[in-house]
């Protein structure tokens, strides 16, 4: 029995379903119309069931190999003899039924990445068969036992992608293919003995993770630049430390090494041997370098704390930006007591908000304290102030680094107008309460 016959009956079943739904939505104008519509609805249901029976009859006559081919061709919507992640995601959703569009894509990307052996980010007939057999083996079944059910689910399941989701899938198909290739590169690198050796060379204390100092020392061997190594280590911990442990496990370290290679437009394969050779060499650091290392470690801890305290997890500040924000903090902190109160913040903001009404600046400061004064001491400390500045840049749609530079120059060179100082300093606690703080 041909696969085209199965598809033909499947199309008949879908057409009957669509016609049945249209008929069901029709509104009868009389009792006679109601009877006619009811009869038509029953006929459509019969057609649907007959088409399903025909498909089942045809499947029962097929060999397992023919059923596998049928399943493959049903999922291969564009007929290119390959199943990409978007096509597989639709099939997974039809079989499982309880998977959302995004979750289906994530599952499909993982499946394709694990079984795509030729690196084209798609599954050919053999790779697809290996995927199906592995899944069935994991659940303790054979293809013979479940083949007809799988085909029927793909053909007739009411779940799967909607029309809009299919359109979205086509739009993002190239991005999804790229995601598959990135996942494949990660899986390949994770299994690479050279990566394991490199991890061991970085992991000086052999505790199974690489902390900040170990990242710096390892990167220093690769670059011979302690400042660059320190900044790279801060960025690495902030970017790849997914569980906020302030260290990198093996998978996180692997992602870092892939990123290091990508900055030179290479893969890990291209530079693995040279990285391992460099990491194996002894390193000598001056007292000044060691002091710098500990200073950067403290900076990292502050950056991690700042990110951790942000409920939206959207604060992104690097070490250089944090150093600039510290300088801006000192310019705002007029009484040099290590914190910025409401009046100091308002005076600082007024220096580059001359076109803004005074009341708007005051209101902005009130909102800043309401959002970022986490310990409710009516002051912004050195960890709260960076979060405010990052949010301030985001709200202004400005580049954070450029905005900080501008604010530093303005704060250092510009003086507040006497009228502004009198107005802001005249605002007391009762006034702030009136405004809502």
316: left (phi over 0), alpha (psi -120 to 50) or beta: beta
**In whole angstroms, what is the distance from residue 128 CA to residue 72 CA?**
7
**In whole angstroms, what is the distance from residue 414 CA to residue 399 CA?**
22
Q: Of 432, 434, 435, whose CA–CA distance to 343 is shortest? A: 432
How confident is the model at residue 435, as a pLDDT?
44
Same fold, 193-295 and 319-435: yes
Task: Map out the domains of the chain as residue ranges.
Answer: 3-61, 71-186, 193-295, 319-435
**What residues does 340 pair with on adjacent strands?**
380
Contact between 294 and 375 (Cβ < 8 Å): no
How confident is the model at residue 284, as a pLDDT?
59
Q: Does domain 193-295 have CATH number 1.10.238.10?
A: yes
**In whole angstroms, what is the distance from residue 73 CA to residue 77 CA?**
7
**In whole angstroms, what is the distance from residue 177 CA to residue 196 CA?**
27
Residue 327 token pair: 């300088």
How confident is the model at residue 133, as a pLDDT?
93
How confident is the model at residue 182, as a pLDDT?
93
Using alpha carbons, list the distances in angstroms from residue 351 to 167, 327, 334, 382: 50, 16, 14, 21
How confident is the model at residue 208, as a pLDDT?
93
Q: What is the DSSP string of 35-104?
A: HHHHHHHHHHHHHHHHHHHHHHHHHHHS-HHHHHHHHHHHH-TT-SS-B-HHHHHHHHHHHHS---HHHH
How confident is the model at residue 434, as a pLDDT?
43
State phi, psi for 340 to the nearest 5 degrees.
-115, 120
CA 401 to chain centre: 24
Q: Of 247, 225, 242, 372, whose CA–CA distance to 300 is shortest? A: 247
How confident is the model at residue 146, as a pLDDT?
82
How confident is the model at residue 253, as a pLDDT?
93
Place of tokens 């592995």: 134
Topology classification of domain 319-435: Recoverin; domain 1 (1.10.238)
How confident is the model at residue 192, as a pLDDT?
94
Which residues, other chains included, contact 37 with Cβ-Cβ below 8 Å and sequence gap of 6+?
A: 23, 24, 26, 28
Residue 432 token pair: 């702030």
Segments in the chain below pLDDT 50: 1-2, 16, 19-20, 290-291, 313, 429-430, 432-437
How confident is the model at residue 75, as a pLDDT?
92
Q: Of 128, 114, 18, 141, whose CA–CA distance to 74 is shortest? A: 128
CB neighbour burial string for 291-306, b if at least 16 within 10 angstroms, e if fewer: ebbeebbebbebbbeb
């Amino acid at each position: 029995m041909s696969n085209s016959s199965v598809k033909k009956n499947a199309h008949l079943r879908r057409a009957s379903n669509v016609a049945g739904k249209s008929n069901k939505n029709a509104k009868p104008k009389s009792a006679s119309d109601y009877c006619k519509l009811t009869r038509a609805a029953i006929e459509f249901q019969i057609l649907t069931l007959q088409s399903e029976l025909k498909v089942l009859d045809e499947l029962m006559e097929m060999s397992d190999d023919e059923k596998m081919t049928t399943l493959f061709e049903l999922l291969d919507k564009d007929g290119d003899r390959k199943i990409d992640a978007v096509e597989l995601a639709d099939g997974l959703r039809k079989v499982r039924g309880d998977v959302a569009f995004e979750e289906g894509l994530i599952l499909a990307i993982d499946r394709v990445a694990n079984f795509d052996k030729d690196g084209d980010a798609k599954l050919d007939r053999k790779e697809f068969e290996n995927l199906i057999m592995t899944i069935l083996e994991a659940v303790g079944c054979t293809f013979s036992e479940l083949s007809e059910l799988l085909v029927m689910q793909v053909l007739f399941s009411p779940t799967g992608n909607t029309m809009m989701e299919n359109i979205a899938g086509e739009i993002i198909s190239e991005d999804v293919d790229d995601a598959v290739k990135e996942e494949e590169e990660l899986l390949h690198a994770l299994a690479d003995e050279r990566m394991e050796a490199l991890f061991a060379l970085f992991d000086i204390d052999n505790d199974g993770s690489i902390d900040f100092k170990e990242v710096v020392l390892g990167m220093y061997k690769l670059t011979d630049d302690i400042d660059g190594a320190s900044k790279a280590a801060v960025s690495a911990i902030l970017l790849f430390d997914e569980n906020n442990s302030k260290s990198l496990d093996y998978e996180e370290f692997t992602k870092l090494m892939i990123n290091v290679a990508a900055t030179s437009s290479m893969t890990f394969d291209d530079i693995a041997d040279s990285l391992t050779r460099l990491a194996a060499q002894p390193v000598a650091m001056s007292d000044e370098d060691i002091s710098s290392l500990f200073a950067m470690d403290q900076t990292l801890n502050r950056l991690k704390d700042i990110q951790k305290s942000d409920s939206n997890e959207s604060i992104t500040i690097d070490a250089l930006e944090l150093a600039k924000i510290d300088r801006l903090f000192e310019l705002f902190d007029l009484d040099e007591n290590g914190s910025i109160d409401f009046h100091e913040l308002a005076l600082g903001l007024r220096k580059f908000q001359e076109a803004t009404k005074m009341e708007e600046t005051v209101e902005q400061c009130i909102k800043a304290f309401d959002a970022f004064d986490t310990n409710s001491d009516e002051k912004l400390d050195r960890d709260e102030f960076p979060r405010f500045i990052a949010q301030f840049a985001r709200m202004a749609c400005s580049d954070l680094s450029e905005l900080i530079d501008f604010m530093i120059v303005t704060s250092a060179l510009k003086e507040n107008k006497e009228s502004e100082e009198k107005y802001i300093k005249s605002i007391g606690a009762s006034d702030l309460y009136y405004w809502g703080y």
